[in-house]
Chains A and B, each alone.
Chain A
Amino acid sequence: MPPKRWPFSLFLPRFPVISPDADLLLEIVDLHARVEDQPILKGVNLTIRAGEIHAVMGRNGSGKSTLSKVLAGHPSYTVTAGSVRYRGQDLLELDPEQRARIGLFLGFQYPIEIPGVSNLEFLRVATNARRSELAKEDLDPFAFEDLVRERLEVVQMNPSFLERSVNEGFSGGEKKRNEILQMALLEPVVAILDETDSGLDIDALRIVAGGVNQLATADNATLLITHYQRLLDVITPDYVHVMAAGRILRTGGKELALELEERGYDWVDQELAVLEVA
C-alpha cells in the first residue's frame, strides 16, 4: 500500500489542535533568522500549547537546530523577521538568561564543558535563578542538596557527578542525563530538546526518554528536535513537523514520523522543489 500523503501544509492552517482551550505557550510566526550573512530560517510557523509534545524532524542543515538556538537566544543568530511570543510576551527582546528564568529550557545537542565550575554549584545557582523568577526563596546548599538528590532519580544519575566540574570528562550519555537533570530542577514551561537522542546507546536513551516523559505535564510542553524515529518510539509526540530549507514543510501526527522513517527524506526534497517552482 502506498504511504498516505499528508496534505500540503505550508500555507494551510496548522494541524487541528488537540485541545484548543489549553494555554498558548509558544507562538512562532514567520520567523526568519541568519547566522553571519547566511539566512537559515526562512519563515517558521509553529504554535505550542500546554500539555503538548511536538517533534521537529528534518535533515542536517534543515534549520531545526538553528530554530532551537534562536528560541534560546544564542548570540550568533540574528532574527531578521517574524515574531515569537512566549505566553503572550515578546520572547525575542529578552536576554538568554531571562528566557531561562521565565521557563524556557534548551537541552543542548552538545552540552558544554566548563572546567573548574562545580556541577552542584552550577545547578544550584541555575535553580535559584529560576526560583527567584517564581518568587520562591533561594535554596541554601543543604536544602538544594536534598532537592538535587531527589531529582537525580529522574535520570538515574550517580551523585558523584555532582562533585565534578560541569560536564567535564562526562561521556555523551552522562552529559545528556545532566541536561535532563537540569530540566528536572528548572521545571521549565517549554523545554526544547535538541537532538537529545544523539550519541545515546539504547539504555541511556530509555533513561533520558523516561525522564522527559516523567517531566511532561498538562501545564508544560516539550519540543523535540530529532533526526530519527527512535526517540519517538519512547516519547510519543502529539505533533510531528518536518523541516526543510528553513521552513516547516509538513505537520502531522506521530504517523508522519513513521512515514519519514519508511520513506526517508527524499520526498521532502521533491515537495520542496515543487514548492520552489510554485
Chain B
Amino acid sequence: MSTASTVSDLVSQPYKYGFVSDIETEKIDKGLSEDVVRLISAKKNEPAFLLEFRLRAFRQWLKMEEPDWSTVSHPVIDYQSIIYYASPKQRDKKASLDEVDPKLLETFDKLGIPLSEQKRLSNVAVDAVFDSVSIATTYREKLAEHGVVFCSISEAVKDHPELIERYLGSVVPANDNYFTALNSAVFSDGSFVFIPKGVECPMELSTYFRINSEDTGQFERTLIVAEEGASVSYLEGCTAPMFDTNQLHAAVVELVTLDDATIKYSTVQNWYAGDENGKGGIYNFVTKRGQCRGDRSKISWTQVETGSAITWKYPSCVLLGADSVGEFYSVALTNNRQQADTGTKMIHVGPRSRSTIVSKGISAGHSSNSYRGLVQIGPKAVGAKNYSQCDSMLIGDQAAANTYPYIRSQQPDASVEHEASTCRISADQLFYLQSRGIGFEAAVSMMVSGFCRDVFNQLPMEFAAEADKLLALKLEGSVG
C-alpha cells in the first residue's frame, strides 16, 4: 500500500514552519503588572493618551475573569509566566531593508514571504511582524502616492496619532472581554491601514505574523479604516515554531467602513497546532470585529484556520449603516487534539442590512470543531436579511463537530435562514476515486477542497491555491 493508506496516517504530517530562528532578542522579564504596561509604553515612546488607554485596560483586566462558555478546555494559563514584550535586537525600524538583520529577512524568506526588493510578491504589500515588533513594510512609498497609509501600529501612533486616538478601541472596547482587555494593556505591534476617501487601494495588503520566542505571548493589534467610498483587500498570515509549551496569542482586530466603503479581510492561520498528543501549540484567543458605520458599506471576513492548539475567535460585523453588508466565510480544520470554537456575530442595526455566513468545519483525529454564531436583528433593521450555511465534515470516527447557531430577531420584517449539514468522507467515495487512478491522499484532498470551494473562492487569488495546499498538507496522514 502507498505511504498513507488510512486517513489517520494522512493527517499527521510534520509542521513545516516549526523552525526557530537564532536571532538575538531583547525580552523583558516574565510577568504582568502595571509597571510592565508602563515599560512597554515607554519602550515605544508612546503619547500619554495611549499609556492611559493601556492602564485603564489593565485595571479592568484585573477585575475580569477568563471566559468559560466555549467548548474549549485547557490547563489554567499562568499569566505571570508569560513574557509580554520580545523584540529582535535592532534599535529602530530601519529606513531601508538593507539595514534589516539578514537573519530576519532569511526567516521570512523561509516562510515564503520574501521582503527584499527583487524577490517580493509583485502585487502585495507586506508588513512583517516578528514576535512583538514590525520589522519591515514593503511598497510603502507606492501606497503613499495614493494616500494609503500602511505601516505598523507603532509607527502609526507616532505619525498619525489623531487617527489612532479616534479609532483605536472604538470598535472593540478594551473591556469587551478578558482577552481584549489583556491585549489593550500590553499590545506591542500590528498593522495599521488607512484608505482615504474615494481611494481604491491599488494592491493587496498583507501582514505576516511570526512568533519566534518561546514563552512569549503575541498581542498584536490591527486597525483598518476605510473612509467614504474607499476599498481595500487585506490578508494576514501566521506561523510559529514548534515548542512543547503553549504560547498565548491574543490579538484584536478592528475594522471601520464609512459610507460606500469596503474592507475584505482574509486570514490564513497556520500557527503551530501542537503534536498528535496535544503537547504544545498556540492558544489563539482573538477578537475581530468590524463596524459598517456608513450606508452601503461592506465588511467581508474570510478565514482559513488550520493551526493553533485552541482557536477561539468570532470575526463579527456590526451593521450600523443602511443597506450595509456583512460576510463571513470560514474554513476551520482541526486534527489530532486541536480544539476550535469559532464562528461569527452579525449584528443588524441598520435598515435593509444583509449578512451571509458560510462556515465549513473539518474535523479529523481526536479533534473538536464547533461553529458558534449569532445573528441578531435589532428593532430598526427593517428588511434585514441573513443567510447562514454551516457544513461539517468528519474524517475518521474520533472527531467531533458541533454547530451552535444563536438567532435573535426583534424585527418582524426580517428574514433569517440557517442551513446546516454534516458529512463524512466515506470509504465508498474514496474507493470510487481510487478506482479511477487517483491516489488516496489526492482523493482526500480533492474532497476536502471541494468541500471548501465556496470559501476558497472568496480568498484573494494569490492565496487561494496556497490555502488549498495548506489544507492538503494539514490533512496528510488523517483518514481512516
Q: Which residues of A contact B (CB under 8 A)?
A: 72-76, 95-97, 99-101, 105-106, 108, 111-112, 114-118, 121-122, 125-126, 129-130, 133, 165, 182, 186
Q: Does B434 contact A (CB under 8 A)?
A: yes
Minimum Cβ distance to chain B for residue A213 (Å): 22
Least CB distance from B106 to A in Å reads 35
Contacts of B434 in A (CB 8 A): 73, 95-97, 100
B360 (CB) vs chain A CBs: closest residue: A116
* Residue interface bits B447-480, CB-to-A below 8 A is 1, else 0: 1011111000000000000000000000000000
Assembled-state Cα–Cα distance A186/B436 (Å):
8
Task: Choose from B1, B423, B428 the contact partner of A95 (Cβ within 8 Å).
Answer: B1
Sorting the interface of chain B by its residue count into under 10, 10 to 19, 20 to 34 or 35 or more gives 20 to 34
Question: Does B435 belong to the interface (CB within 8 Å)?
Answer: yes
Contact B1 A115 (CB under 8 A): no
Check B432–A114 contact: CB distance below 8 A: yes
- CB pair A112–B450 under 8 Å, yes or no, is no
Q: Does B278 contact A (CB under 8 A)?
A: no
CB pair A126–B1 under 8 Å, yes or no, is no
Q: Are A125 and B431 in contact (CB under 8 A)?
A: no
CB A89 to nearest CB in B, in angstroms, measures 16
Residues of B within 8 A of A129 (CB): 436-439
Asked whether, in the complex, the Cβ of B438 is within 8 Å of the Cβ of A75, the reply is no
Indicate if the CB atoms of B450 and A165 lie closer than 8 Å: yes
> Contact between B432 and A125 (Cβ–Cβ < 8 Å)?
no
B277 at the interface (CB under 8 A from A): no
Which residue of chain B has the shortest Cβ distance to A108 in the bound complex? B432
Residue from B427, B438, B447, B450 in contact with A76 in the complex, judged by beta carbons closer than 8 Å: B427
Contact of B431 among A74, A101, A105, A133 (CB under 8 A): A74
Residue pair A126, B437 in contact (C-beta under 8 Å):
yes
By CB atoms of chain B within 10 A, which of A121, A125, A186 has the most? A125
A130 to B5, CA, bound (A): 20
Q: Does B442 contact A (CB under 8 A)?
A: yes
Q: Does B82 contact A (CB under 8 A)?
A: no
With CB as the reference atom, state the residue of chain A lying closest to B443: A97
Q: How far apart are the CA atoms of A112 and B433 in the complex, in Å?
A: 9
Q: Is the CB of A95 within 8 A of B435?
A: no
CB of A260, distance to nearest CB on chain B (Å) = 29
Known: A75-B427, A95-B2. A116 touches B451 (CB 8 A): yes
CB < 8 Å: which of B432, B438, B440 contacts A111? Answer: B432
If A76-B427, A115-B423, A129-B437 are given as contacts, then 14 extra A-B residue pairs at C-beta distance below 8 Å, sorted by A number, are: A75-B427, A95-B1, A97-B437, A97-B439, A100-B436, A101-B437, A105-B435, A111-B432, A112-B429, A116-B447, A116-B450, A122-B446, A126-B438, A182-B436
Of listed A72, A108, A114, residue having the most chain B CB within 10 A: A114
The 9 residue pairs across chains A and B that have the minimum distance between CB atoms: A116-B450, A129-B437, A100-B437, A126-B436, A117-B450, A112-B432, A96-B434, A101-B437, A97-B434
Q: Which of A72, A97, A182 contacts B440 (CB 8 A)?
A: A97
Complex: A73 Cα to B2 Cα, angstroms: 14
Could you say which residues of chain A place their CB within 8 Å of the CB of B438?
A: 97, 122, 125-126, 129
Binding site for A on B (CB under 8 A): 1-2, 5, 423, 426-429, 431-440, 442, 446-447, 449-453
**Distance of A108 Cα from B435 Cα, bound (Å):** 10
In the complex the two chains form, what is the Cα distance from A116 to B451 in whole Å? Answer: 5
Give B428's nearest chain A residue, CB to CB: A112
Residue of B nearest to A96 (CB): B434
Question: Which residues of chain B come closer than 8 Å to A97, judged between CB atoms?
Answer: 2, 434-440
Interface centre among A73, A95, A121 (most CB of B within 10 A): A95
Rounded to whole angstroms, the CA-CA distance of A72 and B1 in the bound complex is 14
Q: Chain A residues near B447 (CB, 8 Å)?
A: 114, 116-117
- A122 adjacent to B433 (CB under 8 Å): yes
Residue of A nearest to B393 (CB): A116
CA of A116 to CA of B442 in the docked complex: distance in angstroms? 15
Contacts of B1 in A (CB 8 A): 95
Q: Which residues of B contact A100 (CB under 8 A)?
A: 434-437
Residues of A with C-beta under 8 A to B433: 114, 122, 126
- Can you list 6 A-B pairs with a CB-CB distance of less than 8 A? A97-B438, A114-B447, A117-B446, A118-B450, A122-B438, A126-B436
Residues from chain A with Cβ under 8 Å of B427 in the complex: 75-76
> Chain B contacts of A122 at CB under 8 A?
433, 436, 438, 446
Distance to closest chain B CB from A151 (angstroms): 15
Are the CB atoms of B429 and A125 closer together than 8 Å? Answer: no
Minimal Cβ-Cβ distance residue in B for A94:
B1
Residues of A within 8 A of B437 (CB): 97, 100-101, 126, 129-130, 133, 186
Complex contacts, B426 vs chain A, CB 8 Å = 112
| A133→B439 CA distance, assembly (Å) | 13
Q: List chain A residues, Cβ under 8 A from B429.
A: 112, 114
Chain B residues with CB under 8 A of A115: 423, 450-451
Please name the residue on chain A nearest to B421 by beta carbon.
A115
Q: State the Cβ distance, B12 to closest chain A Cβ, in Å.
A: 20
| B435–A72 touching, CB < 8 Å | yes
User: A73 and B435: CB pair below 8 A?
Assistant: yes
Interface centre among B439, B449, B451 (most CB of A within 10 A): B439
What residues of A have a CB within 8 angstroms of the CB of B432 in the complex?
Answer: 108, 111-112, 114
Q: Which residue among B437, B447, B449 has the maximum number of chain A CB atoms within 10 Å of its CB? A: B437
- Considering only CB atoms, which chain A residue lies closest to B436 in the complex? A126
A130 to B436, CA, bound (A): 8
CB distance from B381 to the nearest CB of A (A): 33
* Cα(A133)–Cα(B442), bound, Å: 16
B436 x A75 contact (CB < 8 A):
no
**CA A186 – CA B437 in complex, angstroms?**
9
B425's nearest neighbour on chain A, judged by CB, is A114
**Chain A residues positioned under 8 Å from B450 (CB to CB):** 114-118, 165
Q: Whole-angstrom distance between the alpha carbons of A95 and B6 in the complex?
A: 13
